Structure 1
Amino acid sequence: MKMKSFFLFLLCFFLVAACSDKEIEPSFAIENSGGVVINSEVGSTTIFSFTSAREWKASCSADWLSVSPLSGESGKASLTITAKSENSTTVDRSATLVLSSGTVRKEITLTQEAGEIGFIEPDLTEYRMPVEGGVLQIGFSTNMGEDEFQIESSPNVDWLNQNEGGRAVFQYEVRLNVLANPGDDSRSVDFIFTRKADSKVMATVKFTQAGKLTPVDHTSDQSVRVLQTASKGNGIPIIIMGDGFTQQEIDDGVYANTMNKACENIFTEEPIKSLRDYFDVYAVTAVSKSKDFTSGDKTVFRCKLEGGQSTAIEGDDKIVQAYMQCVKNINYDDALVIVILNTQVHAGTTYWYMNSQTNKGIDFAIAYCPIIKGMDSEDFRQVLTHEAVGHGLAKLGDEYSYLEFPVITADVIKEVQSLQRDGWVQNVSLTNNRTEVPWSAFLSDNRYVSEEIDVIEGAYTFKTGIYRPTYESMMNSNKTAFNAPSRKEIYDKVMEKGKNVVSPAYEDFVAFDILHKPEVRAYLRARAVEEKPFARPRLVRKALNF
């Protein structure tokens, strides 16, 4: 009897031991059906409940939401989600709540409802007119009735007369007759949109009229101005030029100011910010007769905005290359050319080039970018950084995807394979094998744990079949810093072209990056404005003119 009891005891012991050795698989049971919706007001809260089989963590990239708690043990849990700011637009805004447990990751859409307060959004924030005057049309959209807002000028002037205007349901247009300017100097006025109920300023539009015409100096066309000379290395050439700028705007200094601003914007993100001394930057003056980008034949570089739902820009690369060669004694194969369009439209396109004889990519590139929403706008800075630095200089691929492109196509797979053989688009991968992705070194590097580098499906504009390193980055929403794999590609390119260092060592980059990398929170900010992402760079296979 004692022997039988002893064997029963051993059997139970081994069964218990076996059960304890088997780890519980992570899983989530979500109680809320569908997404989570929060009211538009600041301070609005909602509760999100779930059950986790194991310990868990929560994160949300939106800076207008807070989530608490951010971690917990197994069992039933409830998160309090709070709106940190009011949604003052008429469009819902969304963010993603990420629950993770072990290898399991669950994404939940958080939506803050559109606000009900009024808004006024001018089509442009700045208008210019020649000395002769004419009809000025100021367009803007609003959700307010005509009796709810008013427009005033500051200072009050007698050289503006209101003309008949028209409006659509939410689109208004104010037409003003502008008298000729009899003075030598330019003159300006601010149009201030205010809410009648409380005199709150809703928007401001600046208008400037040129002074008397100065003699047209056509010798300024194709003139070169040095914006920066490299103090380190070989001097990597960047050439900036503008399209759609008239002689009057060049004489008034508008062109020079725009080129200066574009130059400063290029060097605002790490690592190029700390590598600025390796670059030579030039501005080439280009005189256009018009700023009309609709037909592609009215500006010096014949730039055309595709319009509609497209953000693409086309230009005449032969003319661009001819103006580039006004800069002497540089290696044109290494040149990055940036063409700034004299419009505030949300658009941008970069063109990559391949040697038509060897079928290999060359570093020469043309990045087209408008002055999106004005020279001081973050959109102009961010899109210029994405297009010129990300695509143009470092040959990075896009890290976003479109719903209408569910699966990467066979021809694009071949394109990516070809580009990666030349060392390009190293921030995307056709495999999700963690040891084979181009950024595999970062996945096992504890120094980069805080950046949440992973293998995430969706990149190069496709939802599936291609992967990216992080949820957010400058090559995704434009609103965040470059992620570590992209920073390495920029660093490597500068070392290669600026110091003749072939295949810089990983540890050399890390040593540099630790000193200069931006704060991790920069990668986790949500997209502030939901704009349609751009098309991926266009690959040009033809003989070049240099």
Structure 2
Amino acid sequence: MKTISERAFSSNDFSGELKLPSDVELIGNYAFSNNQRITGILNIPEGVLSVGMEAFDGCSMLEGVVFPESMEMIRQRSFRGCFGIGSIVCRGTMPPHIESDAFEGVAKDNFTVEVPVSAVAHYQTAQGWCDFKRIAAHHELTCSPSVACALSTEHKQTVTVNAEGEWEVADKPDWCEVSPMSGNKKTNVAITIKATAKSSGSDRNGKVVFRLKDKDYTHECSVSQYGYQYGEDEWITLQKATRGNRGGINIVLLGDGYDAKAIASGDYLKVMKQEMEYFFGIEPYKTYRQYFNVYTAIPLSTESGIGTVNTIRYNRFGTTFTGGGGLKAEYDEIFSYALGAPTVTKSNLSETLIIVVPNSTDYGGITQMWADGSAISFCPLSTYGYPLDSRGVVQHEAGGHGFGKLGDESIYHNAFIDACGCSCCGHVDELNTAKSYGWYDNLSLSGKTHGVGWSHLIYDNRYSDIVDVYEGGFMHSRGVFRSEQNSCMNNSIPYYNAISRESIVKRIKQYAGETFSFEDFVKNDKRDAGVAQSPARALARGRASYTSGASQHKPVIRKGSPLRMAKVRRHR
């Protein structure tokens, strides 16, 4: 047998170990897809040049793969969903080309990809292969992560050395300390990069070299240091409040996935300042800007970027894309870190907005909210076109959800929201829970003009030209209502509708220790020119069209308070 054709054994429910004949030269598309009970190590015969598209897709119990020296290409989704793979051996000195999602679902940090000694560096930098955290020759000696970086201040980092026997440190820069210098099998090793002068500009790079004792085999951990005007974890005040009775409302901006090189280049601080300007670039935050303190800090990440469902990045707060559910991170660590900001305390943490800016250009924003009012808004540096760009993400997630406690007005389902609350989606319960906390003033389950929370605006001639009752919102086209056709909470345009602006100002006044007055609100209220249109009253009760482009992730509302785990960090 030389050819296994397209779909030859797809979905046959095979069980046991798959052994291919030695003369096989071609494995076609979908050849063995969806055989969930195939187990063991798959040895692909010498002479096979490529693995077909989705050839082993869904073979979730497959335990490992051996690729021959002849292998040139691994096609799209060839091993997608092969969650059980725990070993990969490549015999070729040239890394096979990997197409998109070829190993989607394979845990790329749980095992070592074994390759020829002479090809280790090549695999470590090759497209697709570089996503695997551990690539080594047949002799087992790795350290994870294989990189450490620092700014001017002293930095300590722990790596895990995993060896097949006794190991030792063969070489290191004189500006690094390593402890211990030798060990046996798996060992936690502390690497300390010594402090240097701030803003020295004398960047330095080196390697800590681990070696198997009595064997000519080594593994390197790259170390680097960059001079910078601020030290690791140092707090920086971007804006100081000048209004309010309680010393200002706190906003904490923290980036994640920025290594020392990115921070020292100035890119990090530039991004934090830009995110601050985006936040205040929309009413009512423009008018009430002086009520806010804004802080940032220098949380150093070992690696640059954000992890995904298939890859890990060693970043400061563990921020990662979850694959369909937005972003998650180590929330307790973020709150503990934020408590180190100059005016943030446990007593005002629930009124402090934390904005985490992941070093990613994907959309994927999401806000995590707690019942006591605490919030973390994740705002990636989206490169989607307007209005889902980075500006739109900050204003929707941080300004809308995180601080304003507003609900989503966007529509993704052409269906009624379940009025009895027994639907599997649970959106009615979610909305009512938010309402019980005093949130989501911009949404209503009632469509009666005298029953909605913005009825006072409908009959006020200063707002009646635009405010009415529009059906659709909170993901559903029917059974839930909003006050205007478009707003930032619908499609991320730079405009909060009138009830949202009023709700935000109420919260600002409350946190600032001042009394809210509706007439004072109206006096200072501004509509962003060119954004708020005046739709025909005949369309006032029409249902909205679907939002195009990427879906927004609705906030996750959690019970209680994050304070039970948060600890105050020492100021630097």
Normalised TM-score (structure 2): 0.53
Q: Which residue of 2 aligns with 1:421?
A: 436
Counterparts in 2 of 1:223 and 1:487: CA distance versus 1, 3 Å:
same
Q: In structure 1, how many angstroms separate the alpha carbons of the residues matched to 2:455 and 2:299?
A: 45
Residue in 1 aligned with 2:365? 348
Alignment of 1:210-359 (within 5 A): 213=205, 215-216=225-226, 220-233=231-244, 234=246, 235-290=248-303, 291-294=305-308, 295=311, 298-307=314-323, 310=324, 312-330=326-344, 331-354=348-371
Go from structure 1 to structure 2 and tell me whether the alpha carbon gap of 1:367 and 1:534 turns closer, same or farther (over 3 Å shift). Answer: same
The CA deviation at 1:458 is 1.3
Superposed CA offset, 1:202-248 (max 9, x none): xxxxxxxx986573579833211000000111300000001110011
The equivalent residue for 2:413 is 403
Deviations 1:372-404 (A, max 9, x none): 119999710111111001101110000011126
Query: Relative to structure 1, is the Cα distance of residues 480 and 256 closer, same or farther in structure 2, using a 3 angstrom cutoff?
Result: closer
Tell me how far apart the structure 1 counterparts of residues 374 and 300 of structure 2 sit (CA, whole Å): 23
Give the Cα separation in 2 of the matches to 1:413 and 1:427. Answer: 15
Does the Cα contact within 8 Å between 1:456 and 1:471 map onto a contact in 2? yes
Q: Out of 458, 465, 469, which is 1:450 matched to?
A: 465
Letter in 2 for 1:225: I
1:506 aligns with 2:518: yes
* Alpha-carbon RMSD: 3.2
Q: Distance in 2 between matches of 1:375 and 1:412?
A: 29
- How has the CA–CA distance of structure 1 residues 470 and 347 changed in structure 2, closer, same or farther, with 3 Å as cutoff? same
Is 1:538 aligned to 2:550, yes or no?
Answer: no
Deviation at 1:538, TM superposition (A): 0.4
Mapped partners of 2:518, 2:433: distance in 1: 23
* Residue of structure 1 in register with 2:482 after alignment: 468
Is the CA contact (8 Å cut-off) linking 2:412 and 2:475 kept in structure 1?
A: yes
CA distance in 1, matches of 2:453, 2:529: 23
Determine the C-alpha separation between the residues in 1 that align with 2:333 and 2:554: 23
Tell whether the 8 Å contact from 2:387 to 2:493 is kept in structure 1 after alignment: no
CA distance, structure 2, for counterparts of residue 374 and residue 472 of structure 1? 19
Aligned residues of 1:345 and 1:370 also touching (Cα < 8 A): yes
Residue identity in the other structure for 1:336? L
Q: Does the 8 Å contact 1:401/1:463 carry over to 2?
A: yes
Change (3 A) 1:351 1:523: farther
Structure 1 residue runs of 4 or more that deviate by more than 4 Å after TM superposition: 163-168, 210-214, 216-219, 374-378, 523-529
Amino acid at match of 1:412: H
CA offsets 1:409-435 (integer angstroms, 9 cap, x no match): 444323322322332100000111111
Check the 8 A contact 2:487/2:497 in 1, yes or no.
Answer: yes
- What secondary structure, in the 3-state scheme, does the structure 1 residue paired with 2:276 have? helix
Percent of aligned pairs with the same residue? 27
Distance 1:431 1:528, change over 3 A: closer
Return closer, same or farther for 1:215/1:166 CA change in 2, 3 Å cut-off: closer
Deviation string 1:139-187 (CA, Å, 9 cap, x unpaired) is xxxxxxxxxxxxxxxxxxxxxxxx999989xxxxx98xxxxxxxxxxxx
User: Helix, strand or coil: the match of 1:536?
Assistant: coil
User: In proportion to residue count, which structure has more strand?
Assistant: 1
Counterpart CA distance in 2 for 1:422 and 1:543 is 13
- Structure 1: runs of 5 or more not aligned: 1-162, 169-173, 176-209, 355-361
Q: Residue 450 of structure 1 aligns to a residue in which SS?
A: coil
Once residues 364 and 258 of structure 2 are traced to their aligned partners in structure 1, the CA distance between those partners, rounded to angstroms, is 18
Distance 1:432 1:528, change over 3 A: closer
Contact 1:461 1:535 in 2 (8 A): no
Q: How far apart in 2 are the matches of 1:240 and 1:350?
A: 14
Match of 1:107 in 2: none
Over 3 Å counting, the alpha-carbon distance change for 1:212 and 1:222 in structure 2 is: closer
Determine if contact 1:311/1:346 at 8 Å carries over to the other structure: no
**Structure-2 separation of matches of 1:344 and 1:404:** 30
Q: What amino acid is aligned across from residue 257 of structure 2 in structure 1?
A: G
Change (3 A) 1:377 1:397: closer
Matches within 5 A, 1:114-125: none
1:520: Cα distance to partner? 5.7
Cα separation, partners in 2 of 1:530 and 1:230, compared to 1, 3 Å: same
- Cα distance between partner residues in 1 of 2:401 and 2:361: 21
Q: How many residues align?
A: 331
* Matched residue type, 2:363: H
User: Which residue number corresponds to residue 391 of structure 1?
Assistant: 401
Instruction: Say if 2:412 and 2:546, in contact at 8 Å, map to a contact too.
Output: no
Q: Tell me if the contact between 1:372 and 1:380 (Cα under 8 Å) persists in the aligned partners.
A: yes
From the superposition, tell whether residues 215 and 506 of structure 1 become closer, same or farther in structure 2 (CA, over 3 Å). same
TM-score by length of 1: 0.56
What is the CA distance between 1:464 and its match in structure 2?
1.9
Is 2:451 aligned against 1:436? yes
- Structure 2 CA distance for aligned equivalents of residues 421 and 377 of structure 1: 31
Question: 8 Å contact 1:481–1:523 — kept in the other structure?
Answer: no
In structure 2, runs of 5+ residues without a counterpart are 1-94, 101-125, 128-201, 206-223, 536-543, 567-572
Which amino acid in the other structure matches residue 301 of structure 1?
Answer: F
Higher helix share: 1
